């Protein structure tokens, strides 16, 4: 039961081919720890490669670290966050075959639309930092999920802290 007319579906399909579809492939981008983004268009759970291969997405997710966390209602990068992103940038610069979508997320303690905007701020803070580290802007896109895709689902700070995140999601066949 899809009511979207054909014209729109074509547009959507083109968008998918060009730039992935972060909403569509579930937890494809997730690391082995089960955490992760919702992106990695076109790459299923088995497409992350061998974690022992330093050029694989699995290696990036697990060994480099695919995410940074934020304080409540903040989009400022912490020193730890910056360190992770420096590592991400080095890896991304040595592996130019991957395209990048940065997903921004918020915890549930906020209104829906504000959290969308807040998630965008977080994704953008990561993107700006990666650009400052030499990652080509043409490889990167951002998307915000606001509070739509929590990772941890308890209603306590322990979970909220994991949800206030920006995740760098890779896909092959890159470079936009």
Partner 1 sequence: MTLFRTLTPVLALALGLFVAASPAAMAQQGPLRITITDGVIEPLPFALPDFIPETGGAGDYAQQITRVIASDLSGTGLFREIPASAHISRVSSFDAPVAYEDWKAINAQALITGAVSASGDKIVVKFRLFDVYSGQQMGDGLQFAGTPATWRRMAHKVADQIYARITGEGPYFDSRVVFVSESGPKDARQKRLAVMDYDGANVSYLTDSSSIVLAPRFSPTGNQILFTSYESGFPRIYLMDTGSMQVAALAQQEGTMTFAPRFSPDGRRVLFSLERGGNTDLYELDITTGQSRQLTNAPSIETAPSYSPDGSQIVFESDRSGTQQVYVMPASGGEATRISGGAGRYSTPVWSPQGDYIAFTKQNAGRFHIGVMRSDGSEERLLTASFLDEGPTWAPNGRVIMFMRESAGAGGQSSLYSVDISGRNLRQVTTEGPASDPAWSPLLP
What one-character-per-residue DSSP string does 109-131 give? SS-HHHHHHHHHHHHHHHHHHHH
- Using rule CB under 8 A, residue 174 touches partner 1: no
Residue 152 has φ and ψ, to the nearest 5°, of -115, 140
In the bound complex, what is the minimum distance in angstroms from residue 73's beta carbon to partner 1? 8
Q: Which is nearer to partner 1, 53 or 111 (CB)?
A: 111
Segment interacting with partner 1 (CB under 8 A) among 17-25, 42-50, 51-59, 84-92: 17-25
Phi-psi sector, 173: left (phi>0), alpha (psi -120 to 50), beta: left
Q: CA-to-CA distance for 173 and 52, rounded, in angstroms?
A: 21
DSSP 8-state code for residue 111: -
Among 58, 69, 117, 161, binds partner 1 (CB under 8 A): 117
- Using rule CB under 8 A, residue 155 touches partner 1: yes
Within 48-107, the residues that bind partner 1 by CB under 8 A are: 73, 75
Among 30, 57, 99, 123, binds partner 1 (CB under 8 A): 123
- Contacts with 10 (C-beta within 8 Å, 6 or more apart), sequence order: none
Q: Which is nearer to partner 1, 18 or 32 (CB)?
A: 18
Among 19, 58, 69, 136, binds partner 1 (CB under 8 A): 19
Hey, how many other C-beta atoms are within 10 angstroms of the C-beta on 54?
13
Q: CA-to-CA distance for 76 and 72, rounded, in angstroms?
A: 10
Among 100, 110, 129, 160, binds partner 1 (CB under 8 A): 110
Q: CA-to-CA distance for 163 and 145, rounded, in angstroms?
A: 11
Tokens matching residue 39: 């992106």
Segment interacting with partner 1 (CB under 8 A) among 23-31, 48-56, 86-94, 167-175: 23-31
In the bound complex, what is the minimum distance in angstroms from residue 116's beta carbon to partner 1? 5
Burial class (CB in 10 A: 0-12, 13-18, 19+), 35: middle
Residues of this chain that bind partner 1 (CB under 8 A): 1-5, 8, 11-12, 15-16, 19-24, 26, 41, 73, 75, 108-114, 116-118, 120-121, 123-125, 127-128, 141-145, 148-155
């Amino acid at each position: 039961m899809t009511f979207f007319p054909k014209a729109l579906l074509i547009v959507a399909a083109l968008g998918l081919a060009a730039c992935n579809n972060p909403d569509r492939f579930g937890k494809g981008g997730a690391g082995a720890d089960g955490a992760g983004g919702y992106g990695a268009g076109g790459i299923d759970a088995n497409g992350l490669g061998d974690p022992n291969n330093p050029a694989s997405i699995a290696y990036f997710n697990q060994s480099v670290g695919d995410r940074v966390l934020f304080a409540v209602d903040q989009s400022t990068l912490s020193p730890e966050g910056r360190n992770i992103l420096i590592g991400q940038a080095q890896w991304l610069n040595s592996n130019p075959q991957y395209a990048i979508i940065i997903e921004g997320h918020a915890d549930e303690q906020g209104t829906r639309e504000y959290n969308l905007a807040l998630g965008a701020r977080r994704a953008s803070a990561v993107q700006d930092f990666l650009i400052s580290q030499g990652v080509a802007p043409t490889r990167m896109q951002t998307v915000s999920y606001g509070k739509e895709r929590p990772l941890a689902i308890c209603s306590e700070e322990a979970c909220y802290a994991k949800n206030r995140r920006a995740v760098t999601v890779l896909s092959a066949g890159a470079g936009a």
